[in-house]
Amino acid sequence: MSFFSKLRDRLTRSSSKIGEGLDGIVDAGPAPAAVTPAAPQPMDPPPPAAPAAPSAGLVGRLFGTAPAKPEEPRRALDDEMLEELEDMLVQADLGVDTALRVTANIAEGRMGRRLSATELKELLATEIARIMTPVARPLPLYPKKPQVVLVVGVNGAGKTTTIGKLASQFRAAGKSVMIAAGDTFRAAAVEQLQIWGQRAGVPVMVAAQGSDPASLAFDAMTRAEAEGADLLMIDTAGRLQNRQDLMEELAKIVRVIRKKDPTAPHNTLLVLDATTGQNALNQVETFRQLADVSGLVMTKLDGTARGGVLVALADRFGLPIHAIGVGEQIDDLDAFDANDFARALVGL
């Protein structure tokens, strides 16, 4: 199955919220004046008998002419309709600012025009793609060996799973990859990472429980350099409860790996969980203060009606979105494609 099909199938909670919302907005418009078909005039000659034709269905099947679709309902674009659209987009987690901007762009030059739900979906998808295209950028790969990727995010956001999926994809692309289990306090997190490492066929470096993550990172750098690894991914703790500690821990990891390579880390990926909705915006603000976030990965778009938050993130921060996750399996993560996402999100 292509990733777009998967995305469309799994984004249904978000897309039905928006798609059905748009259908509802168009349907809620005033009913158009009834048009009475002209009655046949008494003097009109009877219509000539048509030659017997195969049924429309059969013709359609044989010659590919689709039976005529019933006309879609339409609604004239006015202030009330725009307000409903804006509310629906806010409900769908696009956030007030983005909802306002998107609605204003849709309105421009179209006031009074009678739109069908499909046309409205196309317009919305275009606006969303316009916001998201500049941030749809795959994780950049550098010739530098090892390229060090620091992975940050709150506990449970999907860091481990994302590292496992990325490791497996880079391996499949012929890269040699190494993982460091930097959340040394949580045995369960380390165990999960080891399982993912096995699945991906990638070595996972671990340290004694509670030991210094920076020292593990240093050892991992040493080994990655010695073995000529292309990529070193470093998992980190996500305890936001003690922000100061976390900040110091991340800063120390960075300091230590820079002793080995002053240009590292080459990427700092922030993993966000789509089910947290607007809270993802706060997480970006917070982690930007803790680390030099260079790009985002959004997970769990399959389990939520709040996928619209990705549009708000793109609009607010302009940070690259490298990949999105739509499930728990190894191939349920792929590069982010703005057009595919926009169309899937509005239910096209």
DSSP 26: H
The number of beta carbons lying within 10 Å of the beta carbon of residue 118 is 14
The yes or no reply on residue 157 touching ligand GTP (CB under 6 A) is: yes
Residues 233-262 that bind ligand GTP (CB under 6 A): 238
Classify residue 274 by its DSSP letter: G
DSSP string covering 288-316: HHHS---EEEEE-GGG-S-TTHHHHHHHH
Tokens of 171: 């391996």
End-to-end Cα separation, the chain, in angstroms? 18
Tokens of 257: 């790996």
Q: How far apart are CA 100 and CA 85, in angstroms?
A: 9
x/- string (CB under 6 A) for ligand GTP, residues 264-303? -----------------------------------xx-xx
What's the min distance (Å) between Cβ of 78 and ligand GTP?
40
- Say which residues have a Cβ less than 8 Å from residue 95's Cβ, sequence separation at least 6: 278, 281, 309, 312, 315, 316
Interaction of residue 328 with ligand GTP, rule CB under 6 A: yes
Please tell me whether residue 169 binds ligand GTP under the rule CB under 6 A: no
Q: How far is the CB of 93 from ligand GTP (least distance, A)?
A: 17
Say which amino acid occupies 305.
Answer: A
Closer residue to ligand GTP in complex, CB, 114/239: 239
Under the binding rule (CB under 6 A), the answer on residue 307 touching ligand GTP is no
- Count of residues interacting with ligand GTP (CB under 6 A): 21
Instruction: Name the nearest CA neighbour of 200 among 226, 221, 169.
Output: 169
| 335 belongs to the binding site for ligand GTP (CB under 6 A) | no
Task: Report if residue 190 touches ligand GTP, rule: CB under 6 A.
Answer: no
The least distance separating ligand GTP from the CB of residue 273, rounded to whole angstroms, comes to 7
Q: Is 56 annotated as a binding residue?
A: no
Span from 95-103, 220-228, 285-293, 324-332 in contact with ligand GTP (CB under 6 A): 324-332
Minimum gap (Å) between residue 155 Cβ and ligand GTP:
4
The stretch among 24-32, 91-99, 156-164, 311-319 that binds ligand GTP (CB under 6 A) is 156-164
Structure tokens of 187? 């045995």
Q: Is 189 in the site for ligand GTP (CB under 6 A)?
A: yes
Q: Do 179 and 193 form a contact (C-beta atoms < 8 A)?
A: yes
Residue pair 273/156 in contact (Cβ under 8 Å)? The answer is yes
Binding site for ligand GTP (CB under 6 A): 153, 155-161, 183, 189, 192, 238, 299-300, 302-303, 325-328, 332
